[in-house]
Chains A and B, each alone.
Chain A
Amino acid sequence: MTPDLFFQYLFAGVTYGAIYAIVAIGFNIIYNTTGIINFAQGEFVMLGGMIAISLHQVMPLPLAITLAVALTMVIGAAIEIIFIRWLQSPSVLRLIIITIGVSILLREAALHIWGESIRSLPYFYGNEISSISLGSVHLSPQVLWVIAACGIMVAGLSLFFKYTPTGREMRACSANRTAAILCGISTRNMVTLSFMLSAGIGAVAGCVMSPITYTQYDSGTGLAIKGFTVAILGGLGNSMAAVAAGILLGIIEAFSVSVVPLAFQDAIAITILLAILFVKPHGLFGSSVAARLKDF
């Protein structure tokens, strides 16, 4: 393998890795406040992309994306309020199955609204053939948008959780729910907020990746599996680790293409991840001591 090819694969891997990481962060936010995995996370990504594509027909791109993200956040909040908020201490298995059901409904709704056709947003800057040259490696400008979006979101979220009162309240909720209630924090509102936040993050991911990967009604499922894998690999709830794990998965996938046919790409990636999971059951960066204290 020539050095040029090596870097080309590397950048492809980092791009996809950043996308997986954004999806995984969405999983982590909800997991941190509620202890559940929202299997509809991939559908938020699909909805963000689809709504932005539809809105872009009548308004400029930045406005369409902003509005799409806002709308997806509203949908996220609505899902939490309708399906989860009023349940009395539901079991984790019950919540998993409810979110699986929600993901089926969102996907079917998208199928009936947008049909089976594959759509995409236009490139944010330049077009399909414009490229930036780094030495002998060529990159699409959209790649930089994806990586920048991932970086800004990770930085923004860690600042939000660390320094803003709302962020702290959300963390309190995940650390000890009873104690948080005693401190006067409305844990139910925090859960709704976490759904809004992760829906918004998913929608941003859906918009920045749409020009490269295209958007279809069922593109959420595959992304959810990858994002979930990355969240688990990094150790559930740990956003920084999710970025590392996401980029690792992206790079593994990109380089696997040079060894096995493209059709086996997903199988190879997941096999490697399962192998890691069997050796380190709580993720690459997860603490087994901390994990033992959690129910799930």
Chain B
Amino acid sequence: MNSINRYKILGLAGLVIAVQLLTQFTGTAFYLTQLTMSAYYGLVIIGLGVLMGYAGQLSIGHAGFFAIGGYLSAALTTHNLLSYKDSLCIRLLERADMLVLSEDIYGDALLTVVPWGACLMAVGTAALIALLLAVPVLKLKGHYLAMATLGFGTIIYRILLATPYFGEADGISDVPPFQLLPALGGLPPVVVSGSFDNRVVNYYVAWGILIVGMLLLLNLINSRVGRALRSLHSSEEAAEAVGINTSRCKVQVFVLSAVYAALAGVFLAHYNAGIGPSEAGVMKSVRYVALVAVGGMTNLWGTLLMGVSLTFLSLRGVFGSLDDAVFGVILIGVMLFAPEGILSLRRFLVPAKDAALKRDEP
């Protein structure tokens, strides 16, 4: 991690705290809800950003991974397992201390997986599916790759829409809160849920996860793997010639970005106490791709900034019924006039600094 990124991370953390204090003092704490959700979507977008910008692989199926994470976690923590009590699977889970017995609203016994266990299982499943998918899919190039990932997203969407276990068109509701940390000393427990008392805590949890995720990706980019990825992006043949296992690199990044998406899905499902099939739709995947493109493919900070801010505006309903149209216009505008991302336009604002930098280069 170089020092510029360290300052940027610290700056981001400072900004997160400042925004929270600002909403506290101005009595606009209701903004925190959408800011929390934006942070989770931000996690999907930076994961996809590394895949698209650094590994050079387009994926129009990331909403699928998001949905796998969210839906599995929601289903496992919501559906009653009592009737399968004696099966081997459930007994193994019980031995691993991953089941919780509670009462539903009618007072009947309800046996479900604890959120921690469900989270691990959901993210693990997403990672496994990503791995199985990546091996054949990443052999494809260009349009064929776009088609294959689009197809994957469509399959997940259709399966969710057609399976009673996943609630068909209704999705899954009444997802229980996710207790991240138990009550320690005088501190209250850290719980991911949509209740108003937890709003501030949830805001920090979401942004904390996003910042940690960002740190990990920045480290990855500046590591040996990251340099290998960038060489792969510019010329795959050259990268192979110097001994980089290009296909393994691509698969690793694909799985990593799927894990980011699934993790975001898990947390958002618990935060919203539910998840619906629209989260898995093709338009969601397209929107993630759009946000990465708007931020600038090889600019992770730009991706984060544009991804979170545009998602926030969209969630606040600023664009009203024109929401999708606004995204379309932004997408086209950026690709026509600033294909390097919106942040690349700042060179028109500060030409002097840019010119000075150019002079310093040999």
> Hey, which bits of chain A sit against chain B, CB under 8 A?
31, 37, 83, 87, 90-94, 96-98, 100-105, 107-109, 221, 225, 228-229, 232, 236, 261, 263-264, 266-267, 270-271, 273-274, 277-278, 281-282, 295-296
On chain A, the residues within 8 Å of B289 by CB distance are 97, 100
Closest 9 pairs between A and B when the two form their complex, measured CB to CB: A296-B142, A263-B162, A104-B328, A101-B331, A101-B332, A108-B325, A267-B158, A278-B136, A105-B328
Residues of B within 8 A of A83 (CB): 332, 336
Tell me if B282 is interfacial: C-beta within 8 Å of chain A: yes
B162 and A101 contacting across the interface, CB-CB below 8 Å: no
Collect the chain B residues with CB atoms within 8 Å of residue A261's CB. 162
Q: Confirm or deny: B312 has a beta carbon within 8 angstroms of a beta carbon on chain A.
A: no
B147 and A296 form a contact (CB under 8 A): no
Partner of A101 from B147, B154, B282, B335 at Cβ < 8 Å: B335
CB-based A-B contact count at 8 angstroms: 108
Let me know if B158 and A266 touch, CB within 8 A: yes
Asked if A229 and B162 sit within 8 Å, CB to CB, the answer is no
B146 cross-chain contacts in A, Cβ below 8 A: 37, 96
- Knowing that A98-B332, A232-B143, A274-B151 are A-B contacts, what are 19 other residue pairs whose CB atoms are under 8 Å apart, sorted by A's residue number? A83-B336, A100-B289, A100-B331, A101-B335, A105-B328, A105-B329, A225-B282, A229-B151, A232-B144, A263-B161, A266-B155, A267-B154, A267-B155, A267-B162, A270-B154, A270-B155, A277-B148, A278-B139, A281-B144
Which of B280-305 touch A at CB < 8 Å? 282-283, 286, 289-290, 293
Which residues of A sit under 8 angstroms from B327, Cβ to Cβ? Answer: 104
Which of B154, B290, B331, B336 is the one whose CB lies under 8 Å from A266?
A: B154
9 pairs, CB–CB < 8 Å, chain A vs chain B: A31-B143, A97-B289, A98-B332, A100-B289, A225-B154, A232-B143, A266-B154, A274-B152, A274-B155
Tell me how far the C-beta of B307 lies from the nearest C-beta in chain A, rounded to whole angstroms: 15
Tell me, yes or no, whether B238 is within 8 Å of chain A by CB.
no
B interface list, Cβ under 8 A from A: 58, 136-137, 139-144, 146-148, 150-152, 154-155, 158-159, 161-162, 282-283, 286, 289-290, 293, 322, 324-325, 327-329, 331-332, 335-336, 339
Interfacial chain B residues near A225, Cβ < 8 Å: 150-151, 154, 282
Overall SS of chain B's interface: helix
Task: Check A271 against B155 for contact (C-beta < 8 Å).
Answer: yes
Residue of B nearest to A108 (CB): B325
**Residues of the A chain whose Cβ atoms lie less than 8 Å from the Cβ of B154:** 225, 266-267, 270
Docked CA distance A50–B283 (Å): 22
Q: Given A97-B290, A225-B282, A229-B151, A296–B162 Cβ distance below 8 Å?
A: no
Nearest B-chain residue to A277, judged by Cβ = B148
Rounded to whole Å, the gap between the CB of A75 and the closest CB of chain B is 15
Q: Given the complex, which residues of B lie within 8 Å of A271, measured CB to CB?
A: 155
User: A277 — which chain B residues lie within 8 A by C-beta?
Assistant: 140, 144, 147-148
- The answer to whether B150 and A228 have CB atoms under 8 Å apart is yes
B152 / chain A contacts, CB cutoff of 8 Å: 274
The answer to whether A296 touches B161 (Cβ under 8 A) is no
By a CB distance below 8 angstroms, the chain A residues around B293 are 97
| Interface pair A221/B331, CB less than 8 Å apart | no
Of B139, B142, B144, B324, which one neighbours A104 at CB under 8 angstroms? Answer: B324
Docked pose: A94 CA to B334 CA in angstroms: 10
Q: Are A87 and B58 in contact (CB under 8 A)?
A: no
CA distance A100 to B336 in the complex (A): 13
